[in-house]
Each structure stands twice: as structure tokens, then as C-alpha cells.
Amino acid sequence: MGETPVEKYRAISPAEFFYKYREIAGFSNPARAIYQTVRELVENALDATDAHGIMPDIKISIRKVDEIQEFYRITVEDNGIGIPPDVVPDAFGRVLFSSKYVLRQTRGMYGLGVKMAVLYGQMTTGRPVEVITSKPGFKRIYYFKLRIDVNRNEPVIIERGSWRKNREWHGTIVSITIEGDWGRAKPKIKEYLFKTAIVTPYANIVALTPDDEIIYYPRIIDKIPRPPLEVKPHPHGVDLELLKQIISSHNYTSVEELLIKGFQSIGEATAKSILQQAGIDPGKPISELSDNELLSLVNTLKSMKDIRAPSIKAISPLGSDVIIAGLKRVFQPEFVYAVSRRPQAYQGHPFIVEAGIAYGGKTPMSDDDKPIILRYANKIPLLYDEGSDVTTMVVKEDISWDHYMVSFPAPIAILVHVCSTKIPFKGVGKESIADVPEVRKEIKLVLMDVLRELKKYLSKKAKEEELKKRAEHLTKYIPEVARGLSVIVANGSKDFEVKLVQKLVSIISRRTGIPESEIQQVLESIRIGT
């Protein structure tokens, strides 16, 4: 018998893990990688602008940089808040380092995206990421060229520098060179920019492609969604590890102070009630709490019924004005409507579901069994995994379309946006939302809201069509009636006949609501036909 093999154990860094399993973050092939890189850089640029009350000006450049190999240099520039120079190396060179690990709505959630693009660039082209940045009020612009030390999960600075500003510029420019497949990625990137422009009608977005095509979505409104604010954790979203993190990161002297200052929606009276139910002395030092007492405190926090709902300051819904402006820009519909639902909570996190509907105009015809679905989460368009997304499930399974006078195919598009401090994505790729009961219920209700308005419009339109047909039918008899009455009453007087025609036109218009001008047009077509 041979020797028993010896198992070897070692730890790997987060950078090495995602280097080995890049498919998890969406970098599965050159086509998907170029799309994912553009997406991550654009979303960071938008978070650096509209999340801070700045009207976004986003410039995107995708250029082929090697005649033989499929290497592409992707550059995205924004006019946002910039990045402090001491933070830049970690922001682009340390996996799982981010400003997004706070309770506030952001497009990114994991602090992964741009670092995955940097890693993918290192793996496929060996070229470092380049960053130029400056904050408002800074007198200098800072430049970095760096890569990631995969084994240590640390930034390696290859080159750095700075120069004095000669104009008041602020923002960030990031350039990453990766192996890509532009031919296959092009449709998805154009779709991503198109759908991003729908929910950011307040942004200027311009992109230059490898085909020397310029894609431009100009700003059409000056209204920007309310920027989200960082908030404290809500008691219903706490668990034992989060409670220990809050304790270790603050110098609270008593349990009562921990509850009042460490959580939202807890005042002095509520804190005393919580501690009474948990069986803990309010003045007890935190350091003396046993594990059983901590667990009892967590269970009490999660089960308390009288605590206010989570604060919505941390989330930033688009609002009906932005949704309507975006839908009008791309579809120029004959009917458009949007609504935002009241805030709800999921695992102690607030969320709001919004929907918009476009019908007719330049809206493309939908499929045979469902409308065109525009899915968004925290202002991010979701392009992949549509079939497994909760919005698609609601559209196909929970809505009785016949009830709303819609039969497919139809020129109809539905936009659904879910915003929250915790989106229940189905995977790290963030391309579909899981079927969570609280979220599914709100999506169904918001779709019913917009579809009721569509039904009113279609009912009114159908009634107008029926009246128009009735008016056209009656109009056909005007010439004969006027001629006959003219002979009987006025010896065939032409003046009498003309006046009678006009009188009959007025009567039909008054009875049907159809403008006299339209009835006159029908009358004229009858005369020409005769």
C-alpha cells in the first residue's frame, strides 16, 4: 500500500480568491469582461456625482490599443467628488476595501467591481490601472499608476505624481487595459448605456467606441434624486456579530447608551423597555455582558414590535418625474405614467419599489407573452438573468393583463426600480433580484398602480374611437339630408344647404365630442370619393 497523501493547508487573500474565481464577479470571458469593466467604472462615476448632489457629466472611451491582440483601454471620467490621494492606492488596489460598506444606498455593494477589472487587466494584459483625481477645493491633481499584489491583497504603486490645477476641475479619470471581445460585447454595452440613460435623464453621458461611433445622451432635466445619507443600523436588522462589531468600534459605557447611540429608532424610553424585556440592567457596563446576555439582547431587538420603521434617508428613489422624463426621452410614448410606492422594510432595511409604464409612440412591440421589462436595482440596469428575476416572475405570473385591456404583442414597456440599503441579489454578479416575499408583494402592487392608469387611458381611447366611428357613420348622411331638406324647405337653395351642412356638423360634434374640424375632414373625403 502506498503512503497516505498529506493534506496541505494554507490561507489565501481575498485578491487571490477572486483572481482564481473571477467568474463569480462577472469576468467569465472577454466579452463579458469588457461589459463588466465599463459597467463598474460608470457606476462608480455616477455614485461619485449624483449621490453627492452633483449633476453627472460622464465621459467614456473604449479604444483598441494593440493591432494583433484584442487589448482595449477603457477610460471613464466623471466630475464627481474625487478621491483623497492617500486613499487612491487602497481604493483601486485592495480587494474588499470600499467607501460603500455603510448603511447607505449605493450602486455598488461589495467593493469588488473596479478591483476585479484591475485584476482582470493584470491577468490578461499585464498593464496597471491609471488614476487621475482631485477633490473640490484641492489645488492639485494627483496621478497614480498601480497594480494589485495578489498574494498580499495590497496595492503596488508603480508611479505617482501631482501637478497644480490651472482650472477648477474635480472628479476622477480611471483607465484600465484588458483583453476583450468588442464585437460580442458591443450590443450589451450599448444596451447598458441606453438603459442607464433612461434612469439618469439628469446626466450627460457620452461614449466613444472602437468603431469611432459617438453615443450621446444629453441631460434633459435639471432635477436630481435626493442623495442618500448614511444611517445607523435598525434594531430589526441586527445579529450577534453586528452587535459585537458596534460594541468593538465605539466607546459606549453602558448598554443603554449603546442602544440609544448605536441604533436608529431607539430613544430613552424604548431602550429601557428593550433592556427590561431582555433582563439586562441599563447601567451595566458593556464589557461585563455575557454571551447569553448579548444573544438575549439581539433576540429582543429583532422581536420588538413598537420600534419605528427604518429611516428612508439612506435610500434615494428616482421619483416619478425622473422616470417619466427618461421614458419620454427614449420611447416618446402616447401614454406614460410612473409611481413610487410607500417605503417598506426587509430584514431591518428600508426599500422602495417604483414603476413606470410607456405605451405607444415609438415603444417597440413586446413579446407574445409579456411586455418589454426594464429592471433596475439602486439605479443599476439589470441585463442578464431576466428569467430568474422576481420582477419577471411577477409580470408573467401575478398580473392578469386582460383585466387591464392589454393583449400581447403590444407596444408597451414596464420599468421597475427597487432601491434599498440591502438589495437581495441572487449572486455577486448583481444581475437579478431574488424572490423575497416583501419585495415581490411591492412589485405586484406598484405594477397594479401603473396598469390601472393605463386601463383608464385605454378605456378612454376605446370610447373615443367608438364615438369617432359613430361620428363618421352619421357624417356620411349629411350631404343627402342637407340636399333633401334644401329642396323641401328652400326650393333647393345652395346657401340654405351650406348652412344646414354646417349646422349638422355642429350637432354631431356636440353629441360625440369629436372636433368639428375632424368631421369636416371626413365630410371632405366623402365629397372627394363621390
Please tell me whether 55 is known to bind a ligand.
no
- Whether 264 and 134 share a structural domain: no
Report residue 302's pLDDT band, with 50, 70 and 90 as the boundaries.
Answer: confident
- Whether 137 and 165 share a structural domain: yes
With 90 as the cut, is the pLDDT of residue 418 above it? Answer: yes
Cβ atoms of 253 and 285 within 8 Å: the answer is: yes
CATH number of residue 43's parent domain = 3.30.565.10
Please tell me whether 111 is known to bind a ligand.
yes
Report residue 191's pLDDT band, with 50, 70 and 90 as the boundaries.
Answer: very high
Residue 187 falls within a domain, yes or no? yes
Please tell me whether 114 is known to bind a ligand.
yes
Give the ranges where 402-477 is alpha helix by DSSP (H): 437-475
Please tell me whether 395 is known to bind a ligand.
no
Residue 313 falls within a domain, yes or no? no
Residue 227 falls within a domain, yes or no? no
With 70 as the cut, is the pLDDT of residue 17 above it? Answer: no
Residue 7 falls within a domain, yes or no? no
Percent of the chain with pLDDT over 70: 91
Q: Going edge to edge, which strands form the sheet with 129-134?
A: 154-164, 140-149, 129-134, 171-179, 71-78, 57-64, 204-208, 214-217
- Whether 91 and 201 share a structural domain: yes
Provide mean pLDDT across the span 438-465. 92
Q: Are strands 129-134 and 140-149 parallel, antiparallel or unpaired?
A: antiparallel
Out of 420, 435, 458, pick the residue that ends a domain: 458
Pick from 99, 199, 141, 242: nearest CA to 419: 199
- Whether 438 and 485 share a structural domain: no
Please tell me whether 78 is known to bind a ligand.
yes
What is the three-state SS of 209-250?
CCCCCEEEECCCCCCCCCCCCCCCCCHHHCCHHHHHHHHHCC
Residue 224 falls within a domain, yes or no? no
Cα(499)–Cα(482) distance, integer angstroms: 9
Please tell me whether 113 is known to bind a ligand.
yes
Residue 484 falls within a domain, yes or no? yes
Report residue 247's pLDDT band, with 50, 70 and 90 as the boundaries.
Answer: confident
- Whether 425 and 282 share a structural domain: no
Cell readout for 229 is: 445619507
Give the ranges where 125-203 is alpha helix by DSSP (H): 182-199
Cα(179)–Cα(66) distance, integer angstroms: 10
Provide mean pLDDT across the span 280-307. 85
With 90 as the cut, is the pLDDT of residue 193 above it? Answer: yes
- Whether 327 and 420 share a structural domain: yes
Query: What does the pLDDT look like over 202-234, one tens digit per residue?
Result: 999 999 999 999 999 999 999 999 888 888 888
Per DSSP, the three-state class of 298 is helix
With 80 as the cut, is the pLDDT of residue 43 above it? Answer: yes
Cα(413)–Cα(497) distance, integer angstroms: 50
- Whether 449 and 472 share a structural domain: no
User: Mean pLDDT of all residues in the chain?
Assistant: 86
With 70 as the cut, is the pLDDT of residue 485 above it? Answer: yes
Give the ranges where 367-413 is alpha helix by DSSP (H): 390-393
Q: Cell numbers 422581536 correspond to what residue?
A: 303
Structural domains counted in the chain: 4
Please tell me whether 28 is known to bind a ligand.
no
pLDDT of residue 392: 94
CATH number of residue 327's parent domain = 3.30.230.10
Cα(344)–Cα(271) distance, integer angstroms: 23
- Whether 198 and 263 share a structural domain: no
- Whether 259 and 289 share a structural domain: yes
- Whether 254 and 190 share a structural domain: no
Please tell me whether 522 is known to bind a ligand.
no
pLDDT of residue 213: 96
Pick from 140, 191, 196: nearest CA to 163: 140
With 60 as the cut, is the pLDDT of residue 526 above it? Answer: yes
- Whether 391 and 343 share a structural domain: yes
Q: Where are the beta strands (DSSP E) in 104-153?
A: 129-134, 140-149
Report residue 101's pLDDT band, with 50, 70 and 90 as the boundaries.
Answer: very low
Provide mean pLDDT across the span 513-528. 74
Please tell me whether 53 is known to bind a ligand.
no
Out of 423, 458, 493, pick the residue that ends a domain: 458
Please tell me whether 110 is known to bind a ligand.
yes
Q: Averaging pLDDT over each range in 2-11, 341-350, 440-449, which range is the top one?
A: 440-449
Q: Which domain holds residue 83?
A: 14-217
Out of 168, 191, 217, pick the residue that ends a domain: 217
pLDDT of residue 205: 97
With 80 as the cut, is the pLDDT of residue 23 above it? Answer: no
Report residue 369's pLDDT band, with 50, 70 and 90 as the boundaries.
Answer: confident
Provide mean pLDDT across the span 2-15. 64
With 70 as the cut, is the pLDDT of residue 2 above it? Answer: no
Residue 3 falls within a domain, yes or no? no
pTM for the whole structure: 0.82
With 60 as the cut, is the pLDDT of residue 463 above it? Answer: yes
Per DSSP, the three-state class of 114 is helix
Cβ atoms of 29 and 44 within 8 Å: the answer is: no
pLDDT of residue 104: 56
Burial of 338 (0-12, 13-18, 19+ CB in 10 A): buried
- Whether 104 and 43 share a structural domain: yes
* Measured CA angle at 326 (ends 325, 328), to 5 deg: 65
pLDDT of residue 283: 82
pLDDT of residue 110: 45
Report residue 333's pLDDT band, with 50, 70 and 90 as the boundaries.
Answer: very high
Provide mean pLDDT across the span 96-113. 57
With 90 as the cut, is the pLDDT of residue 525 above it? Answer: no
Residue 212 falls within a domain, yes or no? yes
Percent of the chain with pLDDT over 90: 47
Report residue 176's pLDDT band, with 50, 70 and 90 as the boundaries.
Answer: very high
